Structure 1
Amino acid sequence: MMTRTERHAAKQSKIDIWMQQLSMKTIVIIGIHVLMMVAVLFIDALDYRAKISLFAFLSAMTLWVATKISAGFVAIALIVFIILMGAGESELLYHSLSEEVVWLMVGSFIIGEAVKVSGLAERLTLFIWSKSNKKTNMLFGLSSVLFTSAFFIPSTSGRAALSMPIINQIGRNFSAKEQSVLAILAPVIILMSTSATLIGAGSHLIGIGLLKSTTDQSISYIQWFIWGVPFTIVISLFSVLWIKWMLWPKDESEEIENLQSEEKANYQKAMNGKEKKTLMFISFLIAGWMTESIHGYDIAFITMVGAILMMMPHYGVLSWKQGINAVSWNLILFVAAATALGRVLIDTGVVQWIENEMLGILHLFTGSPEWLIVLIILLITVTSHLYITSHTTRAIVFIPGLLLFSETIGVDPSTVVFLSLVGMNYCVTFPVSSKALLLFYEEAGISYDAGNLLKISAILMPVYIGVTMLFYFTFWQWTGMHF
């Protein structure tokens, strides 16, 4: 029989073995969680529910970036954690599947599959391929197509959904490492091109609506076009070059195979019935998206209508089974839980607390030089995607406060709204920061690593702020923008 000393030694030995098995990375992650918990506990302005919600959100961000644990598992587990800790009701989990973004993505997957099945994806791929003799040229060709789509499809997730089958098609001629770069490049260019047009994002229309109702000023489509297009061309070009330099494998061949005679024939032949039908449905979708303010149905509902049309028996492009199987349900659950994590920050008052703290800081800069005020506005709006994951919500939360700030210090409100909306369009740090990024994250075909996205953002974010400031003090002021 073991003595007390021997039992203590045996127990201590097991603890030592367990500690040795823990990797340094695990210990660092645990340490970060302890520091986050202590920091959150000392925020007196937040109540118990808000502190638990903020800790859960910070934990999710850490685990998504620093570990290989399934992002969906992390999101759902932390929603359950919030409920078990008494900071939320069980409906938080159930209602997460009723979020608009969930149905938007379900419809987007089905539409993307229809584009692939009909042959349109292959046709567009062969078109890009026929114009390229090197992989680099193909990257720029693909980026140009994605950039142009911003003028016709007023939904970043819609553009991402339609680009997914094209990326998968092109990816067949690339290595696994190159495919992961394509999976980051596509959503990043889609997001960077958002500022090119007034209809590039719903948040633009919300911001302009708030500007008009508050100050009776507005920004016309043409004025936005003049300001937005040159800026988005520059920042999109830098994004392509930075992603290629940072992530593109250096040991891969630049050459790509020429189109075979059979592929050339497929590219040059007339569209078949399925392609024409898909093109007609997509035209209907684009028209529905662009006229949302007229008919009153939101983008997610219109997307689901399009998905149903694609799956209609006898008249559609694919079967119900094909459409449902095309949906990445793992990703859908992740999106639902991640969106709920973001929403609980609003419901518990965390976002309101952040907004109040920031506006309090802003008022300290009354009378400051112009460049400093512009920089502060951009720092707040560009980084807002880190704690408010919904693009629309960012506009609703920040634009009223920034309009009030502009009136207080005597700054032109149109300028503040435009700079703020352009700043909020930056959301390239975490997969949860944008629906377009989510669509490519953990996708069964081509996907990317969240850590690489964070590396890209570490340089892209300050460059984005710098380019925006450069445009403000040069081109935008030359074309009528003033403070």
Structure 2
Amino acid sequence: MMTRMERHSAKEHPIKLTINNPSKSVVIGSLHVLILIVIFMIDGINYQAKIALFAFLSAMIFWMATKIPAGFVALSLIVFIIIMNAGEADLLYQSLSEEVVWLMIGSFIIGEAVKESGLANRLTFSLLKNQNTKNNVLLGVCSVLFASAFLIPSTSGRAALSMPMIHQLSQKFAASEQRVLAIMTPVIILMSTSVTLIGAGSHLIGVGLLESTVDQSISYVQWLIWGVPFALVMTFLSFLIIKIFLWPIDGWQEIGHKKREEEGKPKEKINGKEKKTMILVSLLVVCWMTESIHGYDLAFITMVGAVLVMTPNMGIISWKQGIKSISWNLILFVAAATALGKVLVDTGVVNWMEKNMLSVLHLFNDAPDWFIVLMILTVTVTSHLYITSHTTRAIVFIPGFLLISETIGVNPSAVVFLSLIGMNYCVTLPVSSKALLLFYEDDNISYDARHLVKLSAILMPLYLMVIMVFYFTYWRWMGLQL
């Protein structure tokens, strides 16, 4: 019987082939030498900033060009920064204190409780009960995932909580269909992120920076008015494209006979564990939505929920079950990747980039709206390729775009909203989003990273086009204008 780690090791076996490829090794080594030379020729940043920039670019190369575990790459480069005296050892220790790390740990534990209580099985059965085709089942899954964006803050939280349901559903699908299901779930989660202000932590960070910098804001209701139609359109288009380009040609047959469905049918009456879980999740949702009233952040609320579901004799799962449910590989990656982004800010790399931008900003004073919007979107939509953390993208780019808006005299609220919507696109590589990485690293169902790249080649230009259309039509009619 293989352990979880052994199964994971077997899954990552192709890494050896990638590393032992002489031509690829030469290219990667040459790129590192070239980057190192260019960086150390740059004036205006100190030694620490140069090492941080080199480490960050090195991480991007390894994430995109090799199959080395993303967490190992990020952690190794944090250690490299410390060894090179470009950062203190606290950089490594404090990376585990990030809010998103604890938000994800709590989400994994709560997701396990949802599965163990039987709620995941009951929801799965309700989706299958009146559906005869896999097409209808997929539409049902997408509807549930879209609706979850109104209730659960954080894409990684939604991904972790949806995993028990997807595992249960996957049993009804063939292996080739399971791989597509593993792509579709995080993609739909990501495309529905723009629906609400609490859909991602980056939204809250961006609006907070808007308030503190220019004393403007975007309310929860205003975001709903702007965000819901756009998220609905992009979610539906993403579903159609996945169906057309990835789903197997013979994959639309009926799910199966009712007898087979009855096998997984839950008991008619909701048991005590299910009641506890429903009450707890409902309370968590209320607490998440009222953060501004009680003052406790999303991660702390989630961890309170995690502690409650593991409470001896009163909870839903045991301590051991909860700890085993956590994907520590993903947690370490998130912690280290967030630290890599943070060190760019701390060492002054971001400030240096912003100062260099100022010299060309005046060229955009008389630029038409379409050009400014396209410039913002080109930077933000592609930003996931070089800054993998959603939160870090907001921290890095929003201050710069606020600076641009004040310099060229455009509406800061519109700039922040467009920037955050652009940053929500992160469907290219497994490391581009924690939701994508969660399913990619899963031992039960996973997907081929090449399919994700092919999907992004279609979705990225489509995403840009839909935003442009929305800006010059619906959003302008609703008061969003530069």
Instruction: Give the equivalent residue in structure 1 for 2:203.
Output: 204
Residues 277-316 of structure 1: matches in 2 within 5 Å?
277-316=276-315
8 Å contact kept, 1:101–1:435:
no
- The answer for the alignment partner of 1:381 in structure 2 is 380
Over aligned residue pairs, what C-alpha RMSD do you find? Answer: 2.5
Of 86-95 and 205-214, more deviation after overlay is shown by: 205-214
Tell me if the contact between 1:65 and 1:451 (Cα under 8 Å) persists in the aligned partners: no
AA aligned to 1:46 is I
Query: Which residue in 2 is equivalent to 1:399?
Result: 398
Give per-residue Cα distances to partners, 1:108-128, cap 9 Å, x unaligned: 111111111011111111122
> Whole-Å Cα distance in 2 between the matches of residues 252 and 266 of structure 1?
24
- Aligned letter for 2:92? L
Describe the shift of the 1:223–1:79 C-alpha distance in structure 2 as closer, same or farther (beyond 3 A).
closer
Question: Kindly tell me: are residues 427 and 117 of structure 1, through their superposed partners in 2, closer, same or farther at Cα, counting changes over 3 Å?
Answer: same
How many residues are matched? 463
- Whether the aligned pair in 1 keeps the contact of 2:70 and 2:431 (CA below 8 Å) is no
Q: How far did 1:310 drift?
A: 0.5
CA distance in 1 between counterparts of 2:51 and 2:443 reads: 33
- Does the aligned pair in 2 maintain the 1:75–1:337 contact within 8 Å? yes
Q: Distance in 1 between matches of 2:67 and 2:37?
A: 25
Letter in 1 for 2:176: K
CA deviations 1:212-258 (Å, max 9, x no partner) are 45545443433322221111111112222223334334465643224
Kindly provide the CA deviation profile for residues 1-34 of structure 1, in whole angstroms up to 9, marking residues without a partner as x: xxxxxxxxxxxxxxxxxxxx74433333333333
More displaced 10-residue stretch of structure 1: 463-472 or 421-430? 421-430
- The alpha carbon displacement at 1:415 in A equals 2.0
Q: Relative to structure 1, is the Cα distance of residues 363 and 395 closer, same or farther in structure 2, using a 3 angstrom cutoff?
A: farther
Could you say if the C-alpha distance between residues 175 and 361 of structure 1 is closer, same or farther in structure 2, counting changes exceeding 3 Å?
farther
SS at match of 1:151: coil
Counterparts of 2:358 and 2:122, CA distance in 1: 51
Distance 1:131 1:81, change over 3 A: farther
Do the aligned residues in 2 keep the contact of 1:355 with 1:398 (CA within 8 Å)?
no
Partner of 2:14: none
Instruction: Name which of structure 1's ranges 377-386 and 142-151 shifts more when overlaid on structure 2.
Output: 377-386
Q: 1:424 to 1:362 in 2, by over 3 A?
A: farther
SS at match of 1:279: helix
Unaligned runs of 5+ in 2: 1-19
Gaps of 5+ in 1: 1-20
How much does 1:288 deviate? Answer: 1.9
SS of 1:33 mapped into structure 2: helix
**2:433 aligned with 1:431, yes or no?**
no
Letter paired with 2:476: Q
Select between 63-72 and 301-310 the one with higher mean Cα deviation. 63-72
- Do structure 1's residue 474 and structure 2's residue 473 form an aligned pair? yes
Q: Whole-Å Cα distance in 2 between the matches of residues 359 and 129 of structure 1?
A: 56
Q: Which residue of structure 2 lines up, in the alignment, with residue 177 of structure 1?
A: 176
For 1:442-457, what aligned pairs fall within 5 Å after superposition?
442-457=441-456
Shift of 1:276: 0.8
Report the residue type matching 1:263 in the other structure: E
Contact 1:331-1:443 at 8 Å conserved across structures: no
Deviation at 1:290, TM superposition (A): 1.4
Name whichever of 50-59 and 204-213 sits farther off: 204-213
Deviation at residue 451 of structure 1 after TM alignment: 4.1
Secondary structure at the counterpart of residue 474 of structure 2: helix
Q: Using a 3 Å threshold, how does the CA distance of structure 1 residues 262 and 145 change in structure 2: closer, same or farther? A: closer
2:8: which partner in 1? none
1:151 maps to: 150
State the 1:131 CA deviation: 4.0
Counterpart residue number, 1:337: 336
Residue of structure 1 equivalent to 2:186: 187
CA contact (8 A) 2:135 2:252 kept: no
Equivalent position amino acid for 1:368 in 2: A
Q: How does 1:52-451 map to 2 (within 5 A)?
A: 52-250=51-249, 252=251, 254-260=253-259, 263=262, 266-267=265-266, 269-451=268-450
Q: Are the equivalent residues in 2 in contact too, given 1:111–1:310 (CA < 8 A)?
A: yes
Give, in angstroms, the shift of residue 341 of structure 1.
2.0
2:193 maps to amino acid: T
TM-fit CA distance, 1:106: 1.6
2-structure distance, mates of 1:438, 1:220: 31
Shift of 1:156: 1.9
Does the Cα contact within 8 Å between 1:125 and 1:166 map onto a contact in 2?
Answer: yes
In structure 2, relative to structure 1, the CA distance for the partners of 1:304 and 1:33 (3 Å cut) is same
Call closer, same or farther: CA 1:372–1:355 in 2, change over 3 Å. same
TM-score (norm 1): 0.87
1:183 touches 1:447 (CA, 8 Å); kept in 2? yes
Q: Is the 8 A contact 2:361 2:408 kept in 1?
A: no
In the other structure, the counterpart of 2:10 is: none
| Distance (whole Å) between structure 2 residues aligned to residue 139 and residue 71 of structure 1 | 30
Rate the CA distance shift 1:315–1:406 in 2: closer, same or farther, 3 A. same
Shift of 1:77: 2.0
Q: 2:63–2:431: 8 Å Cα contact kept in structure 1?
A: no
Q: Distance in 2 between matches of 1:187 and 1:31?
A: 35
- Could you tell me which amino acid in structure 1 is paired with residue 301 of structure 2? I
Q: Distance in 2 between matches of 1:222 and 1:458?
A: 33
Distance 2:167 2:135 in 1: 17
Cα distance change on mapping 1:47 and 1:180 into 2, 3 Å: farther
Cα 1:186/1:22, change in 2 over 3 Å: closer
* Residues 19-30 of structure 1: pairs in structure 2 closer than 5 A: 22-30=21-29
Structure-2 change in CA distance of 1:310 and 1:181 (3 Å): same
SS in 2 for 1:260: helix
Whole-angstrom distance in 1 between the partners of 2:175 and 2:358: 46
Cα deviations across residues 366-386 of structure 1 (Å, max 9, x unaligned)? 101111011112122223333
